[in-house]
Amino acid sequence: MHVTLHITTGCNLNCRYCYSPPTSRNDMSQQTAFQAIDFISENYPVNTGIIFFGGEPLLKKDLIRETIAYSHTKLRIRN
Ligand code: SF4
């Protein structure tokens, strides 16, 4: 199973074929991302992948790093 986190609608490109042109930017908060990890940890703790999606998700690379670190903490707590 995979869970996709849409962490931003923002993008630094302007592709003609864009499915979701970034006219405005909405970013996922750290609180929401961590709540998603809590939900995954409680409900799907085994063999679940997390996909970071946008927009351009690397605009939020700090949030990606923080969320991965938090998910490692949750796994350590469970084991
Ligand atoms: S979100 Fe994707 S398709 Fe849209 S402009 Fe950015 S890179 Fe291009």
Give the pLDDT mean for 5-16: 92
Neighbours of 66 (CB within 10 A): 14
Counting DSSP H helices and E strands in the chain, the numbers are 2, 2
Taking CA atoms only, the protein residue closest to ligand 1 atom 8 is 15
Tens of pLDDT, residues 15-66: 899 887 777 789 999 999 999 999 999 999 888 899 999 999 999 999 999 9
Q: Could you give the number of structural domains in the chain? A: 1
| The pLDDT value given to residue 47 | 87
Q: Which residues, 6 or more positions from 70, have their beta carbon under 8 angstroms from its beta carbon?
A: 33, 34, 37
* Atom 1 of ligand 1, residue of closest alpha carbon: 55
Query: What range defines the domain where residue 11 resides?
Result: 2-78
Query: Has this prediction a pTM greater than 0.85?
Result: yes
Q: Are 2 and 50 in contact (CB under 8 A)?
A: yes
Which ligand 1 atom is at minimum distance from the Cα of 21? Answer: 4
